[in-house]
Amino acid sequence: MVLQAACPVPSLAEAIAGESIRGSWWGHAKGREIFRASRAVCESPEVLVCKLVDNKVTYVHRRVWPALIKLAPRFGNERLAKVWEEHTNTGAHLSRQIPFPEWVPADIMKEAERLSTSKAERILSAVLPEKSRKAGRRRMETRRPSLQSSPCQGQPKAQAPGQRRT
């Protein structure tokens, strides 16, 4: 699931709004509700926040992490980095990330190693659009992130040994 629309996967903002959103969800009548929900999702240890689909904030539930990791070479490490924003004392937002595979828990990595490629493909085919599954190592367009693009600030709250902030 992505935060914003204009992607071939479900949008959290539109699911909460109950309708298509034209323009930014920040201006929608349910903008505050969307913000609160997206913060809750971002803070969940069961959700990876990355830029997997069309370089948009993408939420990936832990149950599909092993399949995603098994097929990681098809996506490229930059699309699988754990991302978040931090709010600085000056009010600016800093984009942060933990590179893939540094954020991956050991138990998930082991599960991914045991998973067959065909099983991983079946798992992801149910949740990823065809375009993203076949993107291969193609480098995604890098764009300057919008300061309003993600309410995921201050993530992750805890940092495991060996993880670095960039």
pLDDT in tens, 61-102: 999 999 999 999 999 999 999 999 888 899 898 999 999 999
Determine the average pLDDT of the residues in 16-42: 90
Measured distance CA(26)–CA(91) in Å, rounded: 18
Measured over the CA atoms of residue 101, residue 107, residue 112 and residue 114, the dihedral's sign is positive
Look at 136 and 63; give whichever has higher pLDDT: 63
Look at 47 and 137; give whichever has higher pLDDT: 47
161: pLDDT strictly greater than 50:
no
Angle (nearest 5°) at CA 100 between 96 and 103: 75
Residue 144, in any domain of the structure: no
Residue 111, in any domain of the structure: yes
158: pLDDT strictly greater than 50:
no
Confidence (pLDDT) at 21: 87
Residue 98, in any domain of the structure: yes
Residue 10's pLDDT band (boundaries 50, 70, 90)? Answer: confident
Helical (H) or strand (E) element with 11: none
Domain boundaries, position 124? 12-132
User: Which percentage of the chain shows pLDDT scores above 90?
Assistant: 50
159: pLDDT strictly greater than 90:
no
Least confident of 7-11, 22-26, 123-127: 7-11
133 three-state secondary structure: helix
- Quote the tokens at residue 163: 């993880």
Summary mean pLDDT of the chain:
79
Residue 123, in any domain of the structure: yes
Give the predicted TM-score (pTM) of the model: 0.72
Residue 122, in any domain of the structure: yes
User: How many domains does the chain fold into?
Assistant: 1
Residue that has been written with the tokens 């969307």 in this structure: 34
Residue 162, in any domain of the structure: no
Determine the average pLDDT of the residues in 146-165: 42
Residue 145's pLDDT band (boundaries 50, 70, 90)? Answer: very low
Residue 146, in any domain of the structure: no
42: pLDDT strictly greater than 50:
yes
Confidence (pLDDT) at 129: 60
Residue 99, in any domain of the structure: yes
Confidence (pLDDT) at 74: 92
